[in-house]
Amino acid sequence: MSDSDIAVRYYQEALGYAARRQFDSAYARMSKAIELIPQCAECYFYRGQFSWQMGRLDDALNDLNRAIALKADEAVFYSVRGRVLFAQGQLSEAQQDAQQAVTLEPLSEYLYEAGLYLSLQERYSESLPYLNQAVATNHEYTEAYTERGLVHSALHNNHLARLDYDKAIEVNPSYFLAWCNRAGLHVHAEQWLQAIADASQAIALRPDYALSYRIRAIAYQSLGNRAAAIADFKQFLVLNPQSPDRVWIESELEKLELQN
């Protein structure tokens, strides 16, 4: 049996282990394949993903860099490296990789990633064209509608934001973030009952997402439901103890608790 045949066997075994989420064994098998065929770009690509799944981000980046050096025209290589960079908090670098992926292959997933990374840098006007293309390419892209809604809101176009959140919920009623963000729009419009309804739905879908409790607490507080507001503000702080708003929330709690 030739080295190539043995390497293919190791490669296939690695993918099998990965499918069973046995990433340490997958990594070991793919390493054996690389020893036999050190110019295998796909081998480095997959081994990088195995490292990522095991939380070894530096190792993942090293392998993804090697894969791209060997094969620079694979859009998915840049997309995955961008996700690893994002996990490391390197937003600008992640965005550059997502844009390169779009240049090579303008899939909706890559367009969404490019728009998301720009949005997270508060570069909203630059983000919008990518998100527009993402939903034009995939009319059922819930995450893209939701992110575009956030961008519209940041650009002070709440009507378009509402349309995007409505569409996201229509496409996927189980996507908690669309409910939470739409609840935030209701708070902005002082539509307290609608805010409570949407925030409650978000909480039912994702009970550990702190922002939904904060939004619902504000709505309860505005309606004079003191006990419910206190409970939600406290739960928000339990879930997000390092919140930049902590001092303000503690002040609001103190006021509520002093009320008769």
Which DSSP state fits 145?
A: H
**Alpha-carbon torsion, ordered 119, 123, 125, 131, to 10 deg:** -30
Asked if residue 195 has pLDDT above 80, the reply is yes
Q: Say yes or no to pLDDT of 200 above 90.
A: yes
What lies within 8 Å, CB to CB, of 212 at 6+ separation is: 176, 179, 180, 183, 199, 202, 203, 206
Whether residue 60 lies inside any domain: the answer is no
Report how many domains make up the chain. Answer: 1
Judge whether residue 199 has pLDDT over 90.
yes
* Identity of the amino acid at 156: H
C-beta atoms surrounding 254 within 10 Å? 9
State the average pLDDT over residues 169-194: 98
Q: Is residue 36 part of a domain?
A: no
Res 260 pLDDT > 70? no
Closest CA to 90 of 130, 59, 117: 117
Closest to 83 (Cα-Cα) out of 69, 93, 71, 70: 93
- Judge whether 65 lies within some domain: no
Q: What is the CATH number of the domain that holds 252?
A: 1.25.40.10
Sequence-ordered list of residues with C-beta below 8 angstroms from that of 211, at least 6 positions apart, any chain? 180, 184, 236, 240
Report pTM.
0.91
Q: Does 248 fall in a domain?
A: yes
Q: What is the pLDDT of residues 59-116, one digit of tens each?
A: 999 999 999 999 999 999 999 999 999 999 999 999 999 999 999 999 999 999 999 9
For residue 4, the model assigns a pLDDT of: 86
Q: What percent of the chain has pLDDT over 90?
A: 97
> Sorting pLDDT into bands at 50, 70 and 90, what band is 189?
very high
pLDDT for the residue numbered 2? 84
Q: Is residue 154 assigned to a domain?
A: no
Expressed as residue numbers, the domain containing 191 is 175-260
- The reply to whether 183 falls in a domain is yes
Answer yes or no: is 232 within a domain.
yes
**Mean per-residue pLDDT, 132-157:** 98
* Spatial distance between the Cα atoms of 197 and 202, rounded to a whole number of angstroms: 9
Residue 166 placed within a domain: no
CA dihedral 150, 107, 77, 13 (to 10 degrees): 110
- Tell me the mean pLDDT in the region 147-154: 98
CA distances from 43 to 33, 40, 71, 203, 233 (A): 7, 5, 11, 41, 49
